[in-house]
Chains A and B, each alone.
Chain A
């Protein structure tokens, strides 16, 4: 079953289109990363799917239920962006209150378990108003998973967290996936998305400009693979022909004694380059292939 499916989902504020008719499918069990610059429309998109705002047009289904529908709310967990929590409650009461709203009351022990999962095991009885920013962020994640939902929306779950806490949350997200949950997250942290997400969509000016698995996206952007070779000195008799051929094969050719770097358009070219060096009886000591990082893909858009 598809966890999320949207058809021409659109949101307009006045005459300004914020989300421009998005078609998107998220399969169950995925960690779906939603990337985009500030103001790209990521949060508005999540808000429409979770009932915070209503779409101007288009349709969507969540876990097979056509939205907006109250029935789906029991099965989703949401950590909205920039939300303040209920400051007068302590963490346990906070979780109990929100879980009972979802129709799944939880015990104090269950609350403590979830607090432990997010790294707040010692803060259960502390008032939320006294929490630091990072603690509030973690409690935001805890409240999104307390009622054991099948689909979890996390809007920038680790922004503002220190590296150790962020790593903790990454592990938690991965463990949720292992338990069969679907996670739909937005992030500005490209490394994070690259590390933990199975599928990615890049949003720009209210539209999805590219989506797919990490490998699919990489193959799309593989028009810029940089190959670096450490090799023995090229014999003078072969040098002119070899480098002349390399110049026609790729771009950004850099040559030093025992080192050559070149940017090529496909993986096939890598093998051709290695064969060319071998034909010239040049020993190759090391080959490094630098694929475009998510950041480079993102910036390309």
Chain B
């Protein structure tokens, strides 16, 4: 697991992707502070959130585009290996669960590192490292990474996951937000399966998102175990 995770992390981090992601996060933070008034007029923000506008901006960015970013970077993390048959080298050496967890850990570590760097840079200016919002963002990213891994396991073709990844990346936040706010009794119960529901309030409810991510990974492991290469 460690070797696969390390390889996944290094391959993601050494490319230009990490610089772009960190730049996007920092720019979002900068502009959310600069246009905090405009942001507050569009979204109902509490006084505390207004005080932490740099990091709240990041959370909102990842609410809307997080799934798209994660899908864009990791949609083929597993099916590319199957498609190119390099997976054969992995499955003959270690368990499928280890491969899956290694891939997940590598992507998770990449986002964790990007976020830590961004939060540290923000902390220099805001003189504050908001652990609570950092944990909320990481919870959301954990769910998004797990969903991406599930997609990469369930769909064998990398080209298909690229297309679906963009589609899901755009639709998922819209659908998630709709589920959270809808009164329709037929679908409103689905909000409990959406990570957004647990981020609506500043409570430790967001920890449930890690559990949801675990369920997605368990589903991915079940499918992956049946795969043949």
Contact = CB atoms under 8 A, between A and B. Distances in A.
User: Do A and B belong to a common assembly?
Assistant: yes
Interface of A: 47, 50-54, 70, 73, 76, 78, 80, 82-86, 88, 97-98, 100-103, 143
15 contacts: A51-B92, A52-B88, A52-B91, A52-B92, A53-B228, A53-B229, A70-B95, A80-B89, A83-B88, A84-B86, A98-B89, A98-B93, A100-B2, A101-B94, A103-B94
Given A80-B85, A85-B86, A70 B228 contact: no
Given A53-B229, A73-B93, A100 B86 contact: no
A101 B90 contact: yes
Contacts of B47: none
Interface string B164-191: 0000000000000000000000000000
A80 B88 contact: yes
Contact of B92 (A54, A80, A84, A100): A80
Contacts of B11: 88
Contacts of B89: 78, 80, 83, 85-86, 98, 101, 143
Contacts of A86: 86, 89
B223 interface: no
A49 B173 CA distance: 44
B201 interface: no
B94 A73 contact: yes
A50 B228 contact: no
B116 interface: no
Interface in B58-93: 84-86, 88-93
Given A54-B226, A101-B3, 11 more contacts: A52-B91, A70-B95, A73-B94, A73-B95, A76-B92, A78-B92, A83-B86, A84-B85, A98-B93, A101-B93, A102-B94
Interface centre among B3, B4, B90, B95 (most CB of A within 10 A): B3
B57 to A, nearest CB: 35
A65 B92 CA distance: 15
B85 A82 contact: yes
B210 to A, nearest CB: 26
A184 to B, nearest CB: 13
A104 to B, nearest CB: 10
A152 B4 CA distance: 23
B17 interface: no
Closest CB pairs A-B (n = 3)? A78-B92, A101-B93, A100-B3
A65 to B, nearest CB: 14
A73 B93 CA distance: 5
B34 interface: no
Nearest to A94: B89
A101 B85 contact: no
A78 B94 CA distance: 12
A124 B95 CA distance: 28
